[in-house]
Amino acid sequence: MMAYDLTLQAVLERALRLYSKKEIISRDFSGIFRYTYGDFYKRTLRLANVLQDLGITKGDRVGTLAWNNHRHLELYFAIPISGAVLHTLNLRLGPEQLVYIINHAEDKVIFVDKDLLPLLQSIRDQLPTVEQIIVMSDTLEIPPCGLANPLSYEALLAGARETFSYPDLSEWDPAAMCYTTATTGSPKGVVYTHRALVLHCLAACLPDCLNLHEADRVLPFVPMFHVNAWGIPFACTWLGATQVFPGARPQAEDICRLIEDHKVTLAAGVPTIWMATYPLWESGKYDPSSLREIVNGGSAASVSMIRNYREKLGVPILHAYGMTETTPVVLVSRPKSTMENLSLEEKYQLSAKQGLLVPGLEMKVVGEDGREIPWDGKTMGELLLRGPWIAKEYYKDPVRSQDSFTEGWLRTGDIVTVDSEGYVGIADRSKDLIKSGGEWISSLDLENTIMDHPAVLEAAVIAIPHPKWDERPLACVVLKQDYEGLVEAQDILDFLRGKAPKLWIPDQVEFIEAIPRTSVGKFYKAALRARFAEAASALQTSEAPLRAKA
């Protein structure tokens, strides 16, 4: 066979040749912007010329501080096809972490959305490698800011050539990079090669995976600054699917409106957004009927959410799992054809698992002794992965690479079970796992069961130290508005009895207003552990379960 390099250049070319009339829709700063793949292609080549004129050469890192919009999509292609590395900057990181990742990657140029200028300006004098800042707006003007000589994206594009000769690239050349959100320690960088991105696209499009196709109209709520929006912009461009970008600071109402107005067939994001859109759809304010599926990833989708979406809205939730180090898609939960006879409830339980390994990857799950665990749906072990879109190291970080990459496998740090059919269920991240009297307790399973209580909006279960059992679970529960003050800790504990093993029943239930979130919307359990440290010391002196605070 031909020694053919898999690069994003061919992905872009296909979109032009076959789909130049198809549309890209973007919620821009001053309204909805629409253009065709043909126009997108021309602007992307202009942008590649701009990069060249700015002195960007092969291997240089180019930062993007931007929302999900069409300009970001242009950067997604123009940077890698010209041989540079697209470094998406997580705009929700604290200033210290942003400074760290920009300096660690040695970004040469940063493209910034106009409304994020104050954030960049506040750290500008700490970024010695950054030579130029380009401001993205829907006008030629740059809003007043204290930056020295910022350039206007639209003005640069207007003056750039429309033809571009691609540099020779190897599929092993770096195309993009992303840092983990790092709730502890500094973020860790992962570099994606062209080959990894293209092979990941192929796998993501498969019917048993995200089942993407040309006729889809796809809205990625998952930010383009985090793991390439799960690879969706690359895959959709390849297929010529219509892309609908939600723009700056999208709220649940914006998402519902965009889905209804633009007949979105597939939307993707973390559970936080699907919890926020649910009441808007349930009340009939917006129409979700164009959706054939919602992809939920990044954090677990609860059984109750999956059930409600299916039964009340008629929208299936597809549960997918991955991480920054895995480009990211690894597991997807769809029932096998042999499972048609499962009851609806059994199907919901199955959908709440993270699912089956996608073709192209290998996994093993090992116990504390390093031996593979039985696939019995009960025994827990750590998920290890290898394959063509799994990272082999962290960028310029040999020490932390050693901990996570051993003997050709990525240690995910996720503690899972595997059932006899091969469905993987995440019990916990290893750092969140609760170890009580030598037994592992899955906080995710407990949360799932608690969220089935009709009064519960959401729940997070954390470990707190215990003198006798080492650790015990504490449940932090957010009640639905209508139930506030009407439900007691004991009601939650009674609800759990019979549904979870006795040892797993939390010693304590705390009603809180909201569960703290990380920069990408996941439960921030470290913050809860810090908050309830006091409760932990109370437990040291008491064996009896504590009652919830009023």
Question: How far is residue 104 CA from its own chain's centroid?
Answer: 22
- Number of residues this chain uses to bind ligand ADP (CB under 6 A): 19
Cα dihedral sign, 428-413-320-271: positive
Catalytic-residue membership of 435: yes
Structural element, H or E, at residue 134: strand 132-136
Binding flags for ligand ADP, 393-422, as an x/- string (CB under 6 A): -------------------x-x--------
Q: How many CB atoms lie within 10 A of CB 43?
A: 21
Nearest approach, Cβ of residue 93 and ligand ADP (Å): 10
Q: Is 230 in the site for ligand ADP (CB under 6 A)?
A: no
Shortest distance, position 353 Cβ to ligand ADP, whole Å: 9
Q: What is the DSSP-derived secondary structure letter of residue 547?
A: P
Q: Is 70 in the site for ligand ADP (CB under 6 A)?
A: no
Taking the least distance from each CB to ligand ADP, the nearer of 185 and 467 is 185
- Cα(38)–Cα(35) distance, integer angstroms: 8
Note whether 245 binds ligand ADP by CB under 6 A: no
The SS3 of residue 88 is strand
Find the binder of ligand ADP among 192, 274, 321, 348 (CB under 6 A). Answer: 321
x/- binding map, residues 166-185, to ligand ADP, per CB under 6 A?
--------------xx----
Q: How far is the CB of 271 from ligand ADP (least distance, A)?
A: 9
- What's the closest the beta carbon of residue 356 comes to ligand ADP, in angstroms? 13
Let me know the angle formed at the C-alpha of 73 by 67 and 75, rounded to the nearest 5 degrees: 95
Q: Which lies closer to ligand ADP via its Cβ, residue 303 or residue 323?
A: 323
- Helix boundaries (H) for 184-251: 194-205, 227-230, 232-239
Minimum distance of ligand ADP from residue 413's CB (angstroms): 6
Q: Between 252 and 323, whose beta carbon lies closer to ligand ADP?
A: 323
Which of helix, strand or coil describes residue 403? helix
Q: Is 361 in the site for ligand ADP (CB under 6 A)?
A: no
Nearer to ligand ADP, 180 or 265 (CB): 180
Give the span between the Cα atoms of 83 and 55, in whole angstroms: 12
304 is a contact residue toward ligand ADP (CB under 6 A): no
Q: What kind and span of H or E run contains 424?
A: strand 424-429
Q: Which is nearer to ligand ADP, 209 or 426 (CB)?
A: 426
CB 111, min distance to ligand ADP, A: 22
Please report whether residue 7 would count as binding ligand ADP according to CB under 6 A: no
What angle is formed at CA 371 by the lines to CA 370 and CA 375, rounded to 5 degrees? 130
Residues 337, 380: Cα–Cα separation, whole Å: 27
Quote the tokens at residue 304: 């109750």
Residues numbered 259-298 forming contacts with ligand ADP, rule: CB under 6 A: 297-298
Six token digits for residue 407: 């003997």
Which string of b and e fits 193-205 if b means at least 16 CB within 10 Å?
Answer: bbbbbbbbbbbbb
Alpha helix ranges (H) inside 311-457: 344-351, 398-404, 443-450
Q: Report if residue 25 touches ligand ADP, rule: CB under 6 A.
A: no
Q: In the stretch 475-514, what mask flags binding to ligand ADP with x, by CB under 6 A?
A: ----------------------------------------
Residue among 325, 447, 458, 510 flagged as catalytic:
325
Binding pattern to ligand ADP, positions 190-229, x when CB under 6 A? -------------------------------------x--
Contact 506, 461 (CB under 8 A): yes
Bridging pattern class, strands 508-511 and 470-479: parallel
First-last CA distance in the chain: 70
Q: Which is nearer to ligand ADP, 187 or 250 (CB)?
A: 187
Residue 386 engages ligand ADP in binding (rule: CB under 6 A): no
Q: Say which residues have a Cβ less than 8 Å from residue 282's Cβ, sequence separation at least 6.
A: 308, 312, 313
Is 180 a known active-site residue?
yes
Residue closer to ligand ADP by CB (options 429, 466) is 429
Q: What burial class does residue 411 get, using C-beta atoms within 10 Å of its C-beta: 0-12 exposed, 13-18 middle, 19+ buried?
A: middle
Please tell me which residue in 180, 181, 265, 449 is annotated as part of the active site.
180
Please choose, out of 202-210, 233-241, 318-326, 453-461, the segment that lies near ligand ADP by the rule CB under 6 A: 318-326
**Among candidate residues 109, 88, 84, the one with its CA nearest the CA of residue 174:** 84
Angle, CA of 254, 204 and 77, to the nearest 5°: 70
Q: Is 319 in the site for ligand ADP (CB under 6 A)?
A: yes
Catalytic residue of the set 285, 378, 435, 468: 435
Whether residue 328 has a cis bond before it, omega within 30° of 0: yes
Question: Does the active-site annotation cover 44?
Answer: no
> Which residues contact residue 152 at a Cβ distance below 8 angstroms, ignoring those fewer than 6 apart?
134, 135, 137, 140, 141, 142
State yes or no: residue 354 binds ligand ADP (CB under 6 A): yes
Of 324, 443, 448, 449, the one binding ligand ADP (CB under 6 A) is 324
Position 429 contacts ligand ADP (CB under 6 A): yes
Among 238, 274, 440, 504, the active-site one is 440
Which two three-digit tokens encode residue 268? 């993707």
Which of the ranges 107-115, 322-330, 485-493, 528-536 carries the binding residues for ligand ADP, by CB under 6 A? 322-330
Please give the positions annotated as active site: 180, 325, 435, 440
Give residues in contact with ligand ADP (CB under 6 A).
Answer: 180-181, 227, 297-300, 319-324, 354, 412, 414, 426, 429, 522
